[in-house]
Amino acid sequence: MSSSNAGQSAGQLETRGIEPVPEGECNGHPLQLFWVWFAANISILGLPLGATLVAFRGLAIWQAIIVAILGAAGSFAVVGIISIAGRRGRAPSLTLSRAIFGVRGNIGPTLVSLMSRLGWETVNTTTAAFVLLSLCSILFGSPVEAKSAPVLTLIFIAIFVLLTLSVSGLGHATLLVIQKWATYVFGALNILVGGFLCATIDWSAVFNATPAPMSAMIIGIGTMAAGTGIGWANAGADMSRYQHRSVKAVRLVASAAFGAGIPLVLLITLGGLLSVGNNDLASATDPIVAIRDMLPTWMAVPYLITAFGGLLLSNNLSVYSAGLTTLTLGLKVKRVYAVVVDIVAIFAGSIYFMLIADSFYGPFITFISLLAVPITAWVGIFVVDLIHRHYYSPKDLLDVSPSSAYWYSGGIEWRAFGAWAIAIVLGFSFTTIGTTAENVWFKGFLSDSWLGHNGLGWIVTFVVAGGIYFVLGGARDRRAAQSEKAHA
Per-residue pLDDT tens over the stretch 323-378: 999 999 988 889 999 999 999 999 999 998 888 876 665 666 677 668 888 999 99
- Who contacts 4 (Cβ-Cβ below 8 Å, separation ≥6)? none
Per-residue pLDDT tens over the stretch 242-265: 999 999 999 999 999 999 999 999
Give pLDDT, residue 22. Answer: 93
Q: In this predicted structure, which of 161-175, 354-368, 396-410 has the lowest mean pLDDT? A: 354-368
DSSP state of 247: S
Per-residue pLDDT tens over the stretch 285-303: 677 778 888 888 888 888 8
CB 431 within 8 A of CB 447: yes
The closest alpha carbon to 123, from 302, 286, 291, belongs to 286
The closest alpha carbon to 109, from 377, 402, 383, belongs to 377
Q: Which helix (H) or strand (E) holds 55?
A: helix 46-55
Query: Could you give the 3-state DSSP secondary structure of residue 433?
Result: strand
Average pLDDT over residues 263-291: 82
Q: Is the pLDDT of residue 481 over 70?
A: no
Q: Is the pLDDT of residue 114 over 90?
A: yes
The closest alpha carbon to 475, from 99, 32, 90, 73, belongs to 99
Neighbouring-strand partners of residue 243: 28
What are the two backbone dihedrals, phi and then psi, of residue 351, each rounded to the nearest 5 degrees? -60, -45
Give pLDDT, residue 11. Answer: 80
Give pLDDT, residue 1. Answer: 41
- When pLDDT is cut at 50, 70 and 90, the band that residue 82 belongs to is very high
Give pLDDT, residue 78. Answer: 95
Query: Could you give the 3-state DSSP secondary structure of residue 172?
Result: helix
Q: What does the alpha-carbon distance between residue 345 and residue 356 come to, in Å, rounded to a whole number?
A: 16
- Who contacts 71 (Cβ-Cβ below 8 Å, separation ≥6)? 220, 221, 222, 223, 224, 225, 228
CA gyration radius for the chain?
Answer: 22
Q: Is the pLDDT of residue 474 over 80?
A: no
pTM of the model: 0.90
Average pLDDT over residues 105-120: 94
Give pLDDT, residue 361. Answer: 58
- When pLDDT is cut at 50, 70 and 90, the band that residue 53 belongs to is confident
Q: Is the pLDDT of residue 26 over 80?
A: yes
Cβ burial, residue 137 (10 Å; 0-12/13-18/19+): middle
Query: Could you give the 3-state DSSP secondary structure of residue 132?
Result: helix
Of residues 385 and 478, the one with the higher pLDDT is 385
Q: What residue type is assigned to position 465 of the chain?
A: A
Of residues 262 and 442, the one with the higher pLDDT is 262
- When pLDDT is cut at 50, 70 and 90, the band that residue 437 belongs to is low
Cβ burial, residue 297 (10 Å; 0-12/13-18/19+): exposed
Q: What angle do CA 257, 186, 115 make, to 5 degrees?
A: 60
Of residues 442 and 421, the one with the higher pLDDT is 421
- When pLDDT is cut at 50, 70 and 90, the band that residue 488 belongs to is very low
Give pLDDT, residue 482. Answer: 47
Q: Is the pLDDT of residue 438 over 70?
A: no
As a residue count, the chain comes to 488
Average pLDDT over residues 25-33: 93
Q: Is the pLDDT of residue 150 over 70?
A: yes
Of residues 209 and 19, the one with the higher pLDDT is 19
Give pLDDT, residue 314. Answer: 93
Would the CA dihedral through 369, 307, 325, 340 be positive or negative? positive
Number of H helices, E strands in the chain: 25, 2
Average pLDDT over residues 8-20: 86
Q: Is the pLDDT of residue 32 over 80?
A: yes
Helix boundaries (H) for 141-248: 150-168, 172-198, 203-208, 214-227, 229-232, 236-240
Q: Which helix (H) or strand (E) holds 443?
A: strand 440-443
The closest alpha carbon to 295, from 187, 192, 200, 188, belongs to 200
Average pLDDT over residues 421-437: 83
CA distances from 211 to 44, 59, 208, 276 (A): 26, 6, 9, 12
Q: What does the alpha-carbon distance between residue 448 and residue 457 come to, in Å, rounded to a whole number?
A: 11
Give pLDDT, residue 476. Answer: 55
CB 329 within 8 A of CB 111: yes
pLDDT-above-70 percentage for the chain? 91
Q: What residue type is assigned to position 81 of the chain?
A: I
CB 13 within 8 A of CB 170: yes
Q: What does the alpha-carbon distance between residue 122 and residue 115 come to, in Å, rounded to a whole number?
A: 10
Q: Is the pLDDT of residue 479 over 60?
A: no
Average pLDDT over residues 435-454: 75
Give pLDDT, residue 452. Answer: 77
Q: Is the pLDDT of residue 219 over 90?
A: no
Cα pseudo-dihedral 303, 307, 312, 318, rounded to 10: 160
Q: What does the alpha-carbon distance between residue 96 and residue 390 come to, in Å, rounded to a whole number?
A: 12
Q: In this predicted structure, which of 22-26, 390-394, 472-476 has the lowest mean pLDDT? A: 472-476
CA distance between the termini of the chain = 28
- When pLDDT is cut at 50, 70 and 90, the band that residue 118 belongs to is very high
Give pLDDT, residue 477. Answer: 45
Cα pseudo-dihedral 190, 195, 200, 205, rounded to 10: 100
Give pLDDT, residue 10. Answer: 76
Give pLDDT, residue 5. Answer: 38
CB 38 within 8 A of CB 260: yes
Q: What residue type is assigned to position 324 of the chain?
A: L
Mean pLDDT of the chain: 87
